[in-house]
Amino acid sequence: MEARDPELKKELDATLQARKELGPEYESELVDSFLEKVGQRVDGTIDQRMRRQLAEHRMVVARGARPPGAAAGGDTFGERFGFGIISLILAVPLSAIGAAHEGLPGLVVSWLGIFGVNAVHAMGRMPWQLRRRKSAGGDGD
């Protein structure tokens, strides 16, 4: 088996050697120390990848292109579908609460609120909204 990180392999070898010398009573501390080093290494790798992805994203945006996977309106089908499903799921308890406390007027107010939230969300994808955002100095998303 080939080690991906020779430095981490050296750390493991040193930890195992220290365990042999110190005995099993220090095993817990040695394992914790090694795991902390592994965690730091993983954190460093993740930080490095995140910085690289952020830099790539900024380069794409700076060039005026749309990031990979971005839809024309700045959202994806999954986002729109998820928003619709969540609206329907929340409509049930909101309707019940509105109707239980205020009757028909409470039900109407609940549904007007649900309609309003969905209308505002949909307005973000309207062509005239996109033109207005671009003319205001936005990037269109």
Q: In which band, very low, low, confident or very high, does the pLDDT at 126 lie, cut at 50, 70 and 90?
A: low
Give the model's pLDDT for residue 52.
Answer: 92
Q: Is residue 1 part of a domain?
A: no
What is the per-residue pLDDT for 140?
A: 46
Distance CA 124, CA 74 (A): 9
- How many structural domains is the chain composed of? 2
Q: Is residue 69 part of a domain?
A: no
The span from the CA of 17 to the CA of 19, in Å, is 5
- pTM assigned to the model: 0.40
- Residue 99 falls inside a structural domain: yes
pLDDT tens digits, residue range 35-53? 888 888 888 889 899 999 9
**Model confidence at 130, in pLDDT bands (50, 70, 90)?**
low
Span 67-108, pLDDT tens digits: 555 545 556 777 778 888 888 888 888 888 888 888 899 889
In the structure, what pLDDT confidence band is assigned to residue 5 with cuts at 50, 70 and 90? confident
Q: Are residues 48 and 25 in the same domain?
A: yes
Separation CA 107–CA 94 (nearest Å): 8
Q: Are 34 and 26 in contact (CB under 8 A)?
A: no
Interatomic CA distance for residues 33 and 27, integer angstroms: 10
Do residues 10 and 56 share a domain?
yes
Residue 34 belongs to a domain: yes
55 pLDDT above the threshold of 80: yes
pLDDT of 98:
86
Domain extent at residue 117: 77-135
Rg of the chain in Å (alpha carbons): 27
Cβ atoms 59, 48 nearer than 8 A: no
Whether residues 55 and 98 share a domain: the answer is no
